[in-house]
Structures are given as C-alpha cells and as structure tokens.
Amino acid sequence: MFLLLLAAAALYLLIGELSEGLLLGGFAVVTVGLVIVQQRRGDRALDALRALAVPYVRVLRDNQWVRVPAAEVVAGDAMLIGEGERIAADVQLRECTALECDESLLTGESVSVPKQVGDAAYAGTLVVAGHGVAQVQATGLRTRMGAIGASLERIDLAPTPLQQTLARVTRWLAVLAFILSVLLAVWLGIGSRNWLQGALAGIAFGMSMLPEEIPMVLTVFLAFGAWRMASVKVLARRPAAIEALGAATVLCVDKTGTLTENRMKLVGIVLPGSPAAHDPIDDALPVRTALLCAMLASRRGTLDPIDRAILGTGEGLLHQHWALAREYPMTPKLPAMAQAWLRADGTVEVAAKGAPEAIASICRLSADEGSRLHRQVEELANRGLRILAVARAIAPRSEALPSLHELDFSLLGLLAFEDPLRADVPDAVATARKGGIEVAMITGDHAATARAIARQAGIDTSAGVMTGDALEALDDQALARVTRRVRVFARVTPLQKLRLVKAFQANGETVAMTGDGVNDAPSLKAAHVGIAMGVRGTDVAREAAGLVLLDEDFTRIVDGVRLGRRIDDNLRKAIFYIVAIHVPIAGLAFVPVMLGMPVLMLPIHVVLTEMVIDPLCSFAFEGVPEAQSLMSRRPRPRDAHAFRWQSLRGGLVAGLLLLLSVLGVWGIALANGGTADEARTLAVCALTVGNLSLVWMLARPQGARSAFASWPLVIVTAVSVMVMTAGVLLPGARELLRFAPVNGPGLLAAMALGIAAAVGGGLVAVRTQRMDLPGENSLVDLAQARH
C-alpha cells in the first residue's frame, strides 16, 4: 500500500496535480505512522507479558530464602535448585540429594547427568531429579550458555493456523490484484489513449484489492488478546493457545490449588485404631510423636503446602542437632517420601509420610490392620479431607542405608488436612458446563476425597470415580469409552494424565489440561491447550504449556475461555467487514471503467476509504464487548476458522449489496444528466455512509440492548463524517476530491440507498453468524449430545 501511494503521488506530480500528489504523499506517511503506532502498542502489550513471564529463583538474602527475578542473581549468591527448574546461572553444588541435570541444551546429549557435591551445573540446564544448594559462579553472558549465544528470553510467537491461512490468502489476493490492475490500466490506456489516467485507475484498483488490513488486524487482536488474558491472570505464551482455549470442550484440572485454596491446614491426627481425630497440638505423647515424625519427613524451605502446614503446626519440636543422613524421594511406584536422621546415640531414625496405602505397604500391615486403616481413611476422605499416613523406623548407623521396604517401620497415625474449596469455583464450573465445556478433575488424592470435593464444586460424579489402578488395566479404546462418562479421576500419576488427554482427544474433544510438575510436561504438550501453574509450576511445565495460570485459580481458566471466545467473535466480525468493504471499493474502481463509463474511484478516494478501514478494524472491533449468549453456547469446532468459505460468503454478499447500491446511485446520477463529478460526489457519499452503517451493525454486541459499541468507533465515525462534509461543502476540498455541488434531496437519497444496503449487509452478517456459531444449549441437550 505504501509503494502504491508513492506511485500514485508521483504520477499526480508528473501531470502537474500538485495538491493531489502532496495529499497522497501525506497519506503514505500516515499509513506508515498507523503501522508504527499500532506496532508500538502491540510491542508494549508483549513487553508487559514478558515482564510477567520473567523466571524467578530462590536465593539466600539476609539469612532468608527469598524468590527474586533470575536477572537479579549475582555471583556468590547461594541458590536453591530443585526438580523441574532451569538453572539460572553457572553454579557449583554445595549440597545435593539425588540430583540429575539434563544438559542437552549445551551438549546435545539427552541422557541426564548425575551430580555430586562440588560439581558444576550450568545455566539453562534442567534439573530432572533431586534438589540441592548451589553457589553462583557466573551469570548472563559469562555463563557457558551466554558464551555460545543461546537466547531464552523471547516469547514464542509461532504463527497460528489462522495466521498461516490468512497469509496464503493475502498472497494470492496480492498476485490477483497486480494482474487485474495491469489489465485495467492497459484496457483504459488503449481505449482512451490516456495512459496516465489508465495508470491511476490501475493503481486505485490495486489499492482496493489489497487486504493490507488483515496483517494489522491479526497483530492487534493477538497482542491485545494476550494482554487481556494477562489482565485475568492468564499468561499466553503462544498465540495459538488463545484460539484453542475459546474452542475448548473439556477442562482437565487438578484439585489442589486450582479448585481449592491451596491453604493446607493440619486439622487432625488419627492414631492407629482410634475412632476419633486428635487436635494436632494435643500434648498426648502418641500425638506429639506422630507430628514430630511428620516434621522429620518434611523438607525445610520448600514451597509444598503440605510440608509448610506440618512444619508450621509443630514449630519448635524439631531436634536441631540431628543431622540429615539420607533422603528417600517420592517415586511413581511408591508415593511416599522419607528422611533418615542421625541421632545422638548413633542410631538412625527414618521418618516417612505419604499415601496411606504406600505407608501401609512399607509397614507390612496385616489384613485386619489394613482394613481398619482403610476404614479410617475412607471416613476422613468422605469429609473432603486430604489424608497422609506417617511411620517411623529405627536402624543402626551404616555407610549405606537400606531401601524403605527393607526397614522395620511402625505406623504412627494419619494426618488429616483441610484445603477448602474456593468460594467461586461452583459458579465457574456451572458457567463452563452451561457453555458446553465439561470439567474433569484429575488428582493424586484419595478417591473419596476427590469425590467429596467434586460434589462441592459441581463436577459430575454420577459415573463414579476412576482410580489410577483401574485406569492402568484398560486399553486405549476402553479408556476412551470411559472418558465419555467419568469426570473424576483419583490416584492418577502424571504419565496416566497423558493417556487421559489422548482418550479425550480420541472422542473428538478439544482438551485443556493443567499441570505443574516435570512429568506433567508430556500431557501439557499433547493437550490442545496446556495450562501450567504459575506459582508452584516447574519451569519445564511452563515451557511445555501454551498458557500459564498466574494465580492458579480455576475461575481464571473460565475467564480465559470467555475472553478466547470474545476475541474469536470479534476477529470474525473484523474479517467479515474487511471482505464486505473491499467488494464495493474494488468493484467501483473496476466496473465503470470496463463498461466504458467515466472513472469513479480515483486513488485519493480509495485512500480515504482505506484510512477509515484500518483503525475501524484494528481498534473498534477489538474493543467490542462480548455477546450476552457468549457462555451459553457450545464451543466452536477447532477447524471453523474465520477464513472458511462459509464465513467469507456472507461478507461477499454484504459487499455485493453495497456495490450494487452505489453503482445504482452512480448510474442514476449520470442518466439524469449529472456530470461525472456530481455522480462521483453522490456515489462516494453513499459508499461512506454505507461503510459506517455496516460497521455499526457489525460492532453492536449480539443481544445488547444498546447500539453503542466502542469509543474508537465513535471517534472514527465523527472524523469520517467531518471529512465527507468538508468534501461536499468546501470548494477547495471539492476540487481536490473531484467532487461537485449536489442538491440536498439527491444527497439524502444517495445516503439512504447506502444505509439500506448496509442494513441488508447487517442482516446477512447476523444470518452468517447464526449459521457459523454453535447454538445455545442446556445441560440436558449437552449430555444427550455427548452420549
């Protein structure tokens, strides 16, 4: 468009039309200015997103472990590193437990590297197991990663499927516009012997055909869409995730911290064989022993809410002079962790805590003892409490401590934790289900706990709860059948999450999955929308996900779905309008010339119209409020993008109506003896009024009681009306635009025809939207459709 404007300005200057040449040159500058302004606004939005995406690390400052941005780490800092984190600097290990790093970013070797105290670990490498304390040796460009020029700062901006489709369409339209422009210029040049006029007509037609608004619209919509997502605490790392979230049909969410408040509170300790729970701060020796054992099995300085709740309850009970001899990390086969402590008498006390069934296995309980424990767990879990068991073993000191199953553990009791449901979750779940989105809870908790929380949240529990063991026994086809009905899954491992994602996808669902751990990365990557936890999520989970939930609240996901649907709706309106308005502009530049009539659309008229289109599409449509029925309809199919033929057909019809209306005004004016300038005045005014009327009809939110859409639309409409009024009334502007004085009734009639055509186009748009949008639904309709 910039090059065409310069070409037209040069031709006008060549034939001595100084004012037209300077005006078009000025419009060329304005075009570049619009691009720069909108690009800067988009860049500011992305800069704000990058600020939210800055990685944090845990360092020792003033004898306290604090989280700081990775950029603030300096050489000499003591840094905590743990499973799932990317190391922020080159460090030397001072303490470590079962630490392994993936250094493939530097070496290309995919096998993880075990680390020992004194070893070096490098910036950018990933901790895949264990944890430790390290001292920073080098940061930034001084690290090995910095030396080879690796960059991990930019947000991934891979083109979305819609962007790729529109890029192809834009290229084809540009080629077609070039060919037809050349033919039009040659046709008019040969027919009229006026090659300069032919060149100007060809340039005008080329301008009218170029859909230069589309790249700008996509830039603005995706940048501001990501910015709006961030305003509801959802960070979009990839633009494709914004598209996909609005089309999600199943939300797979964790329980702890997402549906619940993640404020773990130790509310009771149940001793073996005891019918009632004791207060955690009870002075009875068995209760204090169980609490102390749980504290010894918990890691200090961790962000885990369970460990923090235990250590906070029993603060002051720990034996500070005991030394940690060994840590037994949790494994998928044994969901329990333990720590071995060297006591003053030289023996080793091993404290373990974990899932009751795991602790029961290492305690080697009898069948009767196991049954009693199971009944106690069921009773507590049915109240929505999270249950852990604790056990203790005493072993002689040795160089190599045996495995947990080889130690003689004694069960000390059960710990009951309360994590209340977030108050707004039931409403959010109801909103999601009303919008055609099923919510599935996938948790590692006990089945009874999962069922109780799911009922409180409003998640469907009619098909029961499936456990990880039952899931493991099913093949993929059977699991796909189960996922059509079951919505609560308990005692599920991260690898089983991946199977669940694929099972839902096999049923044709668009899946959004939440996750936070290293092992969640495959399921986050496989889901159509991976949603990582922003606070407790690991770096590898955030890198695998398209979205990051900054405050880990389920209602934010539903807000993100709402925004995704709104962005999709408004983008469709913008595309519909671009197609609709280019039809009359191109037709008015092409048809009169091919019919041997005077030239109607000169470059200056095309430019004036294009100056209205750009800000309207990029600002006015982006800010249109959501439709009232937005969350009462089923999700749109993933492949139903805005540039399908079904969507474009309505825009072409609406544009054709406006084209015929303006051609009618042009033809009637000439037939009644009007000059070309008079007919052009009436036709361009009819086009402008029809253009603005169509925008107002499209920008009005569906179901809204008011016609008001957005302030950008009001401003652009006012400016357009002032420009057209000046062109009709002021002699200098009339001469510049090749207008002529016209009578009032004729002008009103021309504008009425333009408005009538716009109303017809608006009705076509409404019909297109109704055909293109999924219908509203009730929960009964939705359940019947799924079954």
**In the prediction, which pLDDT does 219 show?**
73
pLDDT digit string (tens) for 608-641?
777 666 666 667 788 788 887 888 888 887 666 6
Give the Å distances, CA to CA, from 749 to 665, 722, 738.
9, 19, 20
How large is the average pLDDT for residues 134-156? Answer: 69
Beta partners for residue 82, in sequence order: 131
Contact by Cβ (8 Å): 633, 773: yes
The amino acid at residue 418 is E
**In the prediction, which pLDDT does 82 show?**
86
Q: At what angle do helices 744-772 and 645-671 cross, to 10 degrees?
A: 170
**In the prediction, which pLDDT does 601 show?**
80
348, containing H or E segment? strand 348-354
Q: Indicate left, alpha or beta for 652 from its phi (over 0: left) and psi (-120 to 50: alpha).
A: alpha
User: Which one, of 316, 558, 390, lies nearest residue 458 by Cα?
Assistant: 558
Count the Cβ atoms, other than its own, within 10 Å of residue 312: 12
User: Which one, of 542, 513, 450, lies nearest residue 54 by Cα?
Assistant: 542
Structure tokens at 94: 């001072």
Q: Which residue has the higher pLDDT, 27 or 582?
A: 582
- Residue 511 to residue 527: CA distance in whole angstroms: 6
How large is the average pLDDT for residues 233-243? Answer: 79
Residues ≥6 apart with Cβ < 8 Å to 511: 248, 249, 250, 252, 501, 504, 505, 527, 528, 529
Structure tokens at 601: 């659309």
- Residue 131 to residue 84: CA distance in whole angstroms: 10
Q: Are strands 511-515 and 529-533 parallel, antiparallel or unpaired?
A: parallel
Q: Which residue has the tokens 């149940």?
A: 270
- Residue 391 to residue 409: CA distance in whole angstroms: 6
pLDDT reading at 772 higher than 70: no
Q: Which residue has the tokens 């494709």?
A: 240
Q: Which residue has the higher pLDDT, 699 or 526?
A: 526
**In the prediction, which pLDDT does 705 show?**
46
pLDDT digit string (tens) for 74-84?
999 999 998 87
**In the prediction, which pLDDT does 472 show?**
92
Of 263-277, 649-663, 704-718, the poorest mean pLDDT is in 704-718
CA gyration radius, the chain: 34
How large is the average pLDDT for residues 269-292? Answer: 88
H-type alpha helices, 297-381:
305-313, 356-363, 367-381
Beta-sheet strands, E only, within 457-528: 465-467, 488-490, 511-515
* Residue 52, SS3 per DSSP: helix
Beta-sheet strands, E only, within 83-125: 90-102, 113-114, 120-121
Q: Which residue has the tokens 């819609």?
A: 162
What is the DSSP annotation of 574-609?
Answer: HHHHHHHHHHHHHHHHHHHHHTTPPP---HHHHHHH
Of 189-203, 291-305, 335-349, 410-424, the poorest mean pLDDT is in 189-203
**To the nearest 5 percent, what fractions of the chain are helix, strand and coil?**
55, 15, 30
- Residue 543 to residue 548: CA distance in whole angstroms: 9
Q: Indicate left, alpha or beta for 651 from its phi (over 0: left) and psi (-120 to 50: alpha).
A: alpha
User: Which one, of 1, 57, 68, 56, lies nearest residue 34 by Cα?
Assistant: 1
pLDDT reading at 155 higher than 60: no
How large is the average pLDDT for residues 355-365? Answer: 93
pLDDT digit string (tens) for 290-330?
999 999 999 877 767 888 899 888 877 766 678 888 889 88
**In the prediction, which pLDDT does 35 show?**
67
Structure tokens at 346: 């030289």
Give the long-range contacts of residues 272-280, CB within 8 A, separation 24 or more.
Answer: 272/369, 272/372, 272/373, 272/411, 272/412, 272/413, 273/372, 274/413, 277/380, 277/416, 280/313, 280/314, 280/415
Beta partners for residue 531, in sequence order: 514, 547
pLDDT digit string (tens) for 700-728?
766 554 445 567 778 778 888 888 888 88
**In the prediction, which pLDDT does 458 show?**
94
Residues ≥6 apart with Cβ < 8 Å to 51: none
pLDDT reading at 496 higher than 60: yes
The amino acid at residue 242 is I
Largest CA distance in the chain: 116
**In the prediction, which pLDDT does 269 show?**
94
Contact by Cβ (8 Å): 224, 45: yes
pLDDT confidence bin for 50, thresholds 50/70/90: low
Q: Which residue has the tokens 């022993």?
A: 289
Count the Cβ atoms, other than its own, within 10 Å of residue 64: 8
**In the prediction, which pLDDT does 470 show?**
94
pLDDT reading at 136 higher than 90: yes
User: Which one, of 383, 493, 354, 496, lies nearest residue 448 by Cα?
Assistant: 383
Structure tokens at 338: 């333990």
**In the prediction, which pLDDT does 236 show?**
84
Q: What is the mean pLDDT of the chain?
A: 82
- Residue 47 to residue 223: CA distance in whole angstroms: 10
Buried residues in 241-263 as b, exposed as e (16+ CB within 10 A): bbbbbbbbbbbbbbbbbbbbbbe
Beta partners for residue 59, in sequence order: 66, 79
pLDDT confidence bin for 51, thresholds 50/70/90: low
How large is the average pLDDT for residues 252-274? Answer: 86
